[in-house]
Amino acid sequence: MSINRIRLLPAILSLPFAIVDLGQGTESTQIMREIKDRVVHLEATHAVVKQQPVVKEVPGTGWYVVNTSKWKDLPSFVRGSGLMSDYVPGKFAVMQLDDSAAEHLSAELHASGMACGVLARLSNATVNLETIATPVPLRPVDSEIAAVTAMTGAIDANAIKSTIDEMSKITTRYHTTPTGVSISDWLAGKYRDLSAGRSDVEISKYDHTAMNSRQSSVIVRIRGTKNPDDILILGSHIDSVNWEDGTKERSPGSDDNASGTATNLEIFRVLMANGAKFDRTIEIHGYAAEEIGLVGSLHISNDYKVANKRVIAMVQQDMNLYKEPGTPDKIWFVQENTDDGFNNLLAKLVDKYAKVAWAKGSLTAGSSDHASWKRRGYAAAFPFEHPQDHNPHIHTANDTTVNANAFSQTAAFGKLGLAYLAHFGGLN
């Protein structure tokens, strides 16, 4: 690797991360071969690499990839937020931020029109650079299963609405606030109430204090009957934020992301009501602190990778409640940080069970927790509302069901999520 491929500030050895331009063709292959054990983040034709074997964690601070795709030249409010290792014009910057600066920068980026996932926290965990295999369903997606048709028909838009309303009444679910910390207990309790009597269902919280977050994630596990070491994940994030008025102010987060969390809870309700069991293990995740750098999902996906857990696939539910008035319900498959073959298979399930329109689209101004799993080498998909015309009220006090209320569309996402678990998990 030639040194001119690395774009750094002068104090090269004092900074833990560097950006490498990967080039194209055979040159890219050679560069990747030389840096493969040090890559911690990939963005198209650029990689972020560790310059030290182990990057020391400093309490109260973190290194982040900052999405700056709106600007060719780095805005002063970004540059002044912390220590910048380097940046790629019109793409992203690598910066060290303290916790308050990360909050402030996220708010500034939101005010500039960016969406979720504009910060991604870096760690010592390296990216899996091997080609990700498209997951294979245990029940062919070309064949409709009568039991799945019956269960998807039981997905209740009113039940989803009820959970969204309940979550939206909480002042804020921001990860540092008391109500944000308690939301994981609230959600775990909801799952426990629905799973009563099932000895194969486990519900636990995942602690993230090591990642500077007091908010815990929630993991619901339905143990597989034949292949329990094979894991399918259905995720959402449980936090909310108001970047407009301040992180302690009201942030109902009806669309972002009570909608995805409520959709997954409704899927679980229907599965439990029908006594559903699967060949593979099913895990439903409620991730902490997504809004401040995908903290929960990065932590969990890193730990799963270190433990060599066999994750077959991951689908993220984040924002499905909004559409332009007068337009039909539609599911969009985000193309960034997802597996196209997997998207194609899921699209067949939309046609069979959700029976709404679908399309693929690009979401460049944000991301979500699926990116954490893709980074660790797992197949991921992100069904979403319109990626180029999504809810303009997110991250404000106005993210309510007054402004986003496409409940029949949320039910379609629920039908897709349930069908994904049934076909890829091997419904018994």
- Write down the residue that tokens 């999902």 correspond to: 297
Quote the strand ranges of 362-415, DSSP E: 380-381, 383-384
202 is catalytic: no
187: enclosing H helix or E strand: helix 178-194
CA gap 258, 79 in Å, rounded? 33
Assess whether 324 carries a catalytic annotation: no
User: Which residue among 290, 329, 336, 369 is the active-site one?
Assistant: 290
- Secondary structure E strands in 179-274: 201-206, 217-222, 227-237
- For residue 103, report the phi and psi dihedrals to the nearest 5 degrees: -60, -50
Cβ–Cβ contacts within 10 Å for residue 158, how many? 9
Amino acid at 163: T
Q: What does the block give as tokens for 91?
A: 């793409």
Active site residue 285: no
Name the catalytic one among 41, 110, 208, 237.
237
Out of 43, 239, 283, 318, the active site residue is: 318
Catalytic residue of the set 103, 291, 329, 385: 291
Please give the distance of CA 222 from its chain centroid, rounded to a whole number. 21
How many angstroms separate the CA atoms of 275 and 290, rounded?
A: 32
For residue 251, give the DSSP letter.
-
Report how far apart the first and last C-alpha atoms of the chain are (Å, whole number). 52
**291 an active-site residue?**
yes
Count Cα atoms within 13 angstroms, Cβ side, for 387: 20
- Residue 175 a catalytic site member: no
CB neighbour list of residue 208: distance below 8 Å, 6 or more residues apart: 214, 215, 216, 217, 288, 289, 295, 296, 299
- Maximum separation of any 2 CA atoms in the chain, in Å: 64
Residues 206/213/103/334 CA torsion (nearest 10 deg): -10
Q: Which among 175, 285, 390, 395 is annotated as catalytic?
A: 395
Q: C-alpha 9: how far from its chain's center?
A: 31
Q: Is 110 a catalytic residue?
A: no
Pick the catalytic residue: 256, 283, 339, 369? Answer: 256
- DSSP assignment string, 132-158: PPPP--SS-TTS--HHHHHHHHT--HH
Instruction: Copy the structure tokens of residue 149.
Output: 């048709």
Distance CA 164, CA 174 (A): 16
Residues serving a catalytic function are 237, 256, 290-291, 318, 395
